[in-house]
Structure 1
Amino acid sequence: MSDSSQGPGWWQASDGKWYPPEQAPSGPTPGGGDFAMAGGGTAGTLDIGAALGYGWNKFVQYIGQIILIVLVIFVVQGAFFAISRIIGADNSISALVLGQAVAIIGWVIGLILQAGLIRAGLAVTNGQAPDVSMLFQTANLGSFIIATILVGLLFFVGFLACCIGMIVVAIFTLFYGYFVIDRSAQPVDSISSSFKLVKENFGSVALFAVVVFVLNLITCGLAVGVTQIATAYAYKSLTGQPIAA
């Protein structure tokens, strides 16, 4: 373990530390082999009830920190949306341009917050307390933004396929951000790793994704604290990594 990379193959975990290749957690093995546990075992399985139960228990354990994190996300994103709408209401060309600029900045900030939320969920599964500062860490941010843009393009293609493709893309790219933040995976690699992981566990992952979507929908997003931790649990469980009790 080190505070910086010591050479080829070293990878940065969600705790911000760098680890040697032999300690790499599960991921696609060179040549396209199966996912392996950090200790060399086989890939895990996903227990949806256990994932949601873990998410709820950790939410209760860190309720103050998680509520603050979710509140910051809602306030920041809401503020940028409101400002862009107010500016754009002028209908002049300059106001419309400025409104779009603010909206784009808000979108980028939203991606930073999204990456931070993934980082916080992974931290909980590592046995660390989540913190608002995790929302604004920039490690692997460039790769995350590029990967998100690529996923967005896939969503557009899926939209052209009678919207059914969007659902397929959403399920198969569920874990791309986790591979970026947890494994420092490159954008294309993170997406292909997520596709591979979901493909090998499609039934349980698809059902889990539906449950998470419904929970977030009926709570207007307020369940994100629970579902984000549950998704981090699912990612680590499926990739065979240890999860803090």
Structure 2
Amino acid sequence: MSDQNPTPPGDDPIFGEQPAASNDPVFGGGTPPPPPPPPMPPAPPAGPGAGDTVGSAFSWAVAKFQENIGIWISLAAIVFALNAAQTIISRVINNNSGTTTGGVFAGLGLTLVLGVVFGVLAWLASIGVYRAALRRSQGTQPSFDMLTTGENLVPYIVVAIVYGIATVVGLALCILPGVAVIFLFLFAPFFALDKGQGVGEALRNSYRLVTQNFGAVVLVAIVNILASILGSLPFTFGLLTLVTLPFSALFTVHAYRTLQNETVAP
């Protein structure tokens, strides 16, 4: 007759309950444990901070300006002379336009036309300063050839015009949109003059560079604003632009290169 209470599997009637089968691959059945996870790769080295970027750009700009101070001042002097000529001629016209309504309006109209002409000429001359700064960052010494070459001139003019129109429209809307345009597309003219990029590409690259390096670009913008204020102080008659214009160009170009991880020539 069969046992009504069979011994459960794994239970010995003498020694009691037995341990479960081992999963050890040597002494028992089962699969081996999974291998340990691979070590984490080392973290990439951190890039230069905003202060380091601006400090390096400032030191480099001062050093490069001092190395070729004569040519930098000469390049900036052309811009200064055009602006000074505009101011002098405008004052002469206003002083000799008479007191009649027709004479006043004629004087204002002529002043406006001359202001546009001399303003455009001074702006074109300033391109030579920025081109010289870009080439100096690549190891080429500045020279007056930078004023006459037409390299990437058309892309730069087109991008600068679009940039200027967008800035004016933004300022007219509510000031803040104009400030945002000035800030976000600060490097667009440099991409055009340096690499010959068109409007869309230059604006996109400037937006990317600024948003990825926000803190550093804020400091770059502050330094440029201070340089512009110094250059336009009324009691200096604009003479400080002989220094502030080339310095600002060199300083901004160094930041432009560094933020893209491009090599800057010593």
1:225 to 246, 254, 258: 246
If you compute each CA radius of gyration, which structure gives the higher value, 1 or 2? Answer: 2
Counterpart AA for 1:228: A
- Alignment of 1:69 with 2:75, yes or no, is yes
TM-score, structure 2 normalization: 0.68
Paired position in structure 2 for 1:138: 150
Counterpart CA distance in 2 for 1:166 and 1:146 is 19
String of CA shifts for 1:19-54, please: whole Å, max 9, x gaps: xxxxxxxxxxxxxxxxxxxxxxxxx75611001010
Structure 1 residues 219 and 94, CA, compared in 2 at 3 Å: closer, same or farther? closer
Cα deviation for residue 84 of structure 1 reads: 4.2
Structure 1 residues 69 and 182, CA, compared in 2 at 3 Å: closer, same or farther? same
RMSD, aligned α-carbons: 2.4
Cα deviation for residue 69 of structure 1 reads: 1.4
> Greater shift after overlay, 113-122 or 158-167?
158-167
Counterpart AA for 1:172: L
Alignment of structure 1 residues 1-245 onto 2, 5 Å? 47-87=53-93, 90=97, 91=103, 95-220=107-232, 221=241, 222-245=243-266
Counterpart AA for 2:132: A
Percent identity among equivalent residues? Answer: 26
Cα deviation for residue 65 of structure 1 reads: 1.0
Paired position in structure 2 for 1:14: none
Contact 2:76-2:126 within 8 A present in 1 as well: no
> Counterpart of 1:223 in 2: which secondary structure?
helix
Structure 1 residues 75 and 182, CA, compared in 2 at 3 Å: closer, same or farther? same
String of CA shifts for 1:146-188, please: whole Å, max 9, x gaps: 2222112221222134322332222212211211111001133
Contact 1:216-1:223 within 8 A present in 2 as well: yes
Structure 1 residues 147 and 216, CA, compared in 2 at 3 Å: closer, same or farther? same
How many equivalent pairs are there? 203
Cα deviation for residue 228 of structure 1 reads: 1.2
Contact 2:152-2:195 within 8 A present in 1 as well: no
Q: RCO higher in 1 or 2 (8 Å CA, sep ≥ 6)?
A: 1
Counterpart CA distance in 1 for 2:86 and 2:154 is 21
